[in-house]
Amino acid sequence: MESLAPDHFSPGTTYLDTAASGLIPTGAAAAMAASVAAASEGRPQEEVFSAAVEAARAACGRLLGVPAGRVAAGSSVAVYCGLIAQSLPAGSEVLVAEGDFSSLVNPFHVRPGLRVRTVPLERIAEEVRPGTALVAVSAVQSAEGRIADLDAIGAAARAHGARTLIDVSQAAGWLPVDAAAHDYTACVGYKWLMCPRGTAFLTVPEDLGGLVPVFAGWVSGEDPRESCYGRVEPMAASARRFDENVPVFSYVAARESLRLVESLGVERVGAYDVALADRFRVGVARLGHAPVEAAGSAIVAVPGLGGAAERLATQGVHVSARAGRLRAAFHLYNTAADVDRLLEAL
């Protein structure tokens, strides 16, 4: 079982930790290095940077099923969740899942005047009520790979007039996501999309979702070249008004990484990733361990084995330790031999 893109990666270890950070394709790394070298020599890069950001924005939109005009380019999911938190009226109730990722939930806890209600993931849909203003949940749970029932959550939110914010950081790139079905989605690029750190995206509704661009700078103007001094106006009419001044070298690489994901297809990548994860689930069960139930997920968490992660790393096998569990995450550059090596090491 050869990897899906053997010519695009050159791993030096058995790397099974994409849920923490994905491998950067060699072509993306080369593009980034070339851009850094050009900048070090004083060669103009502004057009390269602008083109890279716009290409990455458009590619993210295609992968998530929305036009580029609904995609903002940034560097942090926490920043975008903070933007949404700041845009909610005082007294708003936000419904979140127990144990969800901090970058998603914490901005709502620290915003004064909001009421954050936390319930188990499997009860999110049934816990939406008339007073709920926003449901904020990860499509795939970082800690153990459980997949949220987004259809049920979306239906419940619509029935009660609540908006939805879906963090797709652990989904985009292997699990098909329809951002058009939600008010907002946010994701980092450095996991399953295999971009460098410093890349993140926000999708918003056509009407921009009532968000206040509280951190708007010159890049948020309709013509950024004319928005460098004084008040920024007019603001971009699209989601670009929520852009951050991004780390541009990361976006030069992101354009290439996203191009690779698009060329392979999310459905194909997902089927491949889940097959590897299922191979590990079967194998680790034979060793006498019971993984957390997360059917159809590319992430596998095994209680009681978190302490093995450090030992495995000394053998060149890289996984994560999360909440006492061993967490392995399988992606397109992995092979069946990688799974078997992990099982042998365990």
Q: What CATH number should be reported for the domain holding residue 325?
A: 3.90.1150.10
R_g of the chain computed on alpha carbons: 20
The answer on 332 and 293 residing in a single domain is: yes
| Paired residues of 186 in beta bridges | 167, 202
Q: Are 301 and 280 in contact (CB under 8 A)?
A: no
Q: What is the pTM of this model?
A: 0.96
The answer on 320 and 269 residing in a single domain is: yes
The answer on 299 and 151 residing in a single domain is: no
The answer on 170 and 213 residing in a single domain is: yes
**What stretches in the chain show pLDDT beneath 70?**
1
* CATH code of residue 131: 3.40.640.10
User: For residue 98, which of 63, 75, 127 has the smallest C-alpha distance?
Assistant: 127
The answer on 274 and 254 residing in a single domain is: no
The answer on 248 and 138 residing in a single domain is: yes
The answer on 196 and 157 residing in a single domain is: yes
Distance separating alpha carbons of residues 81 and 211, to the nearest angstrom: 11
The answer on 152 and 16 residing in a single domain is: no
Render pLDDT for 263-283 as a digit per residue (tens, 0 to 9): 999 999 999 999 999 999 999
The answer on 277 and 256 residing in a single domain is: no
Using the 3D structure, point to which of 239, 263, 287 is the last residue of a domain.
263
Q: Give residue 1's pLDDT.
A: 62
Domain count of the fold of the chain: 2
In a domain, 124, yes or no: yes
Q: Give residue 3's pLDDT.
A: 87
The answer on 148 and 108 residing in a single domain is: yes
The answer on 223 and 309 residing in a single domain is: no
The answer on 128 and 74 residing in a single domain is: yes
Render pLDDT for 303-343 as a digit per residue (tens, 0 to 9): 999 999 999 999 999 999 998 999 999 999 999 999 999 99
In a domain, 1, yes or no: no
| Residue-range definition of the domain harbouring residue 300 | 6-25+265-345
